[in-house]
Structure 1
């Protein structure tokens, strides 16, 4: 991992643990049950969010990482976001993120046209912009109309642009292999690269401060344009982990 300023601290829940090695960290869930939320996480959030998020554009992050396998149960990933559900930060905020994100079924967050709602992907969202907030009064009507394929194909691309949602699916077979992931965040552009290959670019990047996070947990989420919303926990009967190499220079 490379960055100008990253001071990471662990956050653990349930069975989650972070192992520190000479070459980096291993974020582990030895096992997990659906009765208890389990999370192994490294982040550089201050306390309390959101004023304490340390990163604004321009910023660049390079992460060398691998996972225990391609069939993880829960969610996992690394990158930047605004931790909208942080304890002690008042009411939940709308999400803002620029990251590499994984979710296993039954997760279904099919928010980008043509991209599955689960799997390994590069992703951008900023629902905090005025263009997104302007859609809020119409949300109930949009949910109803989106249940029609005809209306969905015409309306959701407009909503997706307003929410600044951009995604690119990545092959699941990459997960257990060492790869280098890069996040370039500029005021007027964002790029996500895999082994120096551009996989996602937008000229409508997130605005505002964010924190860095790397995690693996046993959670799932269903959030669809048709109004399906559900959250829950998964049983993970076998060990799973995310391994990240330490910085080797600025």
Structure 2
């Protein structure tokens, strides 16, 4: 199993995951043209993609879905409430390309099993995904105000995580956002801070080689170096030394990460 974070941030999100037999995008929150360009940058194309898995209906996760569906005839997977919320936002998606992926269920594609699980975000029915292939496990979790024990149970002991590290609390509190938006981000249906992300990660990493991709960083309320430092310090305070078996990686709103094997 291989993956690349094609883009991550408030301006758009998309992740590519493949096995030898199947490939999927998780979200397509960029224009169709940008998605195609990001895939080309890692040596892939929409011809490789067997489906797009939708997490929720916010624009930074679905912006390119309609055009990609119509242009490339690719299947789109989402739960029923998310499909209803996307109607009118993504244009016409042919019925034969509309698939339901229910909350807290699994779908199998050859050797790849994909499990959906609920998160806490201000969307109608947001969910993220865990990918299993043989003994390897990749978990993707962003856009959640907190990480519950149930969520931790789904993602525990993954070999790789794409994990939200959205904001530094002090930067957010001192920043230019109006209080209503600050309150939303800090709420249980907002986004996870650097410190809270690290505390959650400390409870789900296993004593094996693990990669953590810090994702969905706020352009205004976070920085890559700050996120990495904050997460590393908090993990070490929890007894987990980064660089030994836990390795932190950046993601970017503009550049895809290298296609890596889980």
Larger helix proportion of the pair: 2
Pair in the same fold by TM > 0.5: no
Instruction: Name the one with the larger strand percent.
Output: 1
**TM-score bracket relative to the smaller structure:** under 0.3
